[in-house]
Amino acid sequence: MAEGDVREDFVRSQLEPMAEFFIVIHPMCLRDLLERLETEIIRNVLTREKGNVRKAAEILGVKYTTLYFKVKKYGIEPVLFETPRH
């Protein structure tokens, strides 16, 4: 399986559970829908990667700077996803 296939499967797994809510139950304009989906996907990947933006960017197939911009744009705080240190 190529790396792109893994990424596509991951994104699909993130989108499918949200699709009914965003499209059927709570319709909204396309721009708002895409921003909301993008925000949720970024949050999910950051949670999975414990706030590591570089690793999240790699998984999502975007440059670090692109993801960093989106994190700032959507007001996401990667530090909130880090595992507490004891």
Confidence (pLDDT) at 1 = 40
Task: State if pTM tops 0.85.
Answer: no
Q: Where are the domains of the chain?
A: 3-81
Lowest mean pLDDT among 4-8, 40-44, 45-49: 4-8
Top-level class of domain 3-81: mainly alpha
Name the burial class of residue 42, with classes exposed (0-12), middle (13-18) and buried (19+) by CB atoms within 10 angstroms of its CB.
buried
Buried b or exposed e, range 71-80, using 16+ CB within 10 angstroms: beeeebebee
Q: What would the DSSP string read from start to end of 30-55?
A: HHHHHHHHHHHHHHHHHHHTTT-HHH
Q: What is the pLDDT of residues 18-35, one digit of tens each?
A: 666 666 666 667 788 788
Name the CA radius of gyration of the chain, rounded: 14
